[in-house]
Structure 1
Amino acid sequence: MEQRIDTQKVTPVDAAGADPASVPGLTPPRQAPKTEDKAPSLEKAEPTEPAEEPDTEPEPEPAEDAADALTDAPADTAAADTAGPDFTASDRRGSITADATGVRLQLDDQEAEFHWDEIGAVEVGTSRRRLTVTVHTPDSRWYPNDVEAPDKARAQEWADELDKVLDAYFED
């Protein structure tokens, strides 16, 4: 069956030219925002009575006590964060650090820091003189890093020390 071109009904797409985010049929065309034209009022406002000024100046807060409180609080939280075991292994190119805040991997000028709540799993392995640590995140990404130990025994010691730190901070 043949159809004539002029019998097809073509609807104009008016929103697409004005708003590229508009998809005809899926989203309604955006309406122009309604703004109320408020012309500045020429009427005189009633004068307000000036507020009475207090006879005394407000008492300044003791600066020494506030400064002491601010200095003590970060020191206490920093002490609480560093309490517990920590681990650091490094070579000429990179380092692996695990402590109360999380795991930090560094290689040359690149660094990745993971807090304990961002970590899904930590994989530790040794190969000859190399300690390899891979941090797995919950979104199925993994970040490997390795450091070279002076000898094979030292690489195994690093792996054992890191296991103790992971047992202390990482929740299964």
Structure 2
Amino acid sequence: MTQPPQGFGPPVPQYGQQYGPQYGQQNSQTYGVTPPPPPHPPTVQGPEFVAVDTRNAIAVDAEGVTLDMNGVQAEFPWPEIRSVHYRASPNGKALMLGVIHLDGHFYEAVVDAKPKARLTEWFAQLAWVLRHYRPMG
């Protein structure tokens, strides 16, 4: 292959030679500013359920189920969960949610619903979120 005359066509690449500074490098050298780190890959987003009272909390999201009981957290990723069950407390004023781990252990959290009508809202939202992550086949 013949080379075009000097000044015609794109420049011929010189292998092993770096062309100019990398993105952000010029600013950091010129102005003493460190370029920001590259953005993290986006996390998987999906519906979430959160119920909180003054001592306890329950969260259900794309990662799994988290129970917080008096400041002690237990996290259960979906692959480690055999099943999730929920119901109203005997007095009808709290949400009781239980997680059965693959090894058969049962974990439960109770979150007070104030006002009491909030329990109905939680049941509707929780049912929808659980169906999203654990569809009945």
Whether the TM-score (by the shorter chain) exceeds 0.5 is yes
1:77 to 42, 52, 58: 42
Task: Please give the per-residue CA displacement for 1:115-162, whole angstroms capped at 9, x wherever unaligned.
Answer: 111111000111211100001111101110010001332112212211
The answer as to 2:101 corresponding to 1:150 is: no
In 2, Cα distance between equivalents of 1:110 and 1:98: 16
How far 1:69 moved relative to its partner? 8.5
Code of the aligned partner of 1:158:
W
C-alpha distance in 2, partners of 1:58/1:98? 52
2-structure distance, mates of 1:61, 1:116: 45
Q: Structure 2 CA distance, aligned partners of 1:99 and 1:139?
A: 22
TM-score under structure 1 normalisation?
A: 0.56
Secondary structure of the 2:38 match is: helix
- Which of 1 and 2 has higher RCO (CA within 8 Å, sep 6+)? 2
Unpaired runs of 5+ residues, structure 2, are 1-15, 26-34
Q: Secondary structure at the match of 1:164?
A: helix
1:130 pairs, out of 85, 94, 107, with: 94
Say which structure is richer in helix: 1
TM-score when normalising by structure 2: 0.69
**Structure 2 residue 60 is the aligned partner of structure 1 residue 92:** no
- Which is higher, the Rg of structure 1 or of structure 2? 1
1:87 & 1:94 partners in 2: Cα distance?
Answer: 14
| Structure 1 counterpart of 2:22 | 62
**Number of equivalent positions:** 109
Work out the CA distance in 2 between the residues paired with 1:117 and 1:125. Answer: 23
For the residue of structure 1 that corresponds to 2:47, the secondary structure is coil
Structure 1 runs of 4+ with >6 Å offset: none
Name the amino acid aligned to 2:76: F
Structure-to-structure mapping, 1:1-172, within 5 angstroms: 59=18, 62=22, 64=24, 70-71=38-39, 74=40, 76-78=41-43, 81-82=44-45, 84-127=46-89, 128-172=92-136
Q: How far has the Cα of 1:58 moved from its partner? A: 7.4
Distance apart, 1:163 and its partner CA:
0.9
CA deviation vs aligned residue, 1:83-140 (integer Å, no higher than 9, x gap) = x211111000011011111111101220011111111100011121110000111110
Change over 3 Å in CA distance of 1:119–1:64 after alignment to 2: farther
| TM-aligned CA deviation for residue 64 of structure 1 | 3.9
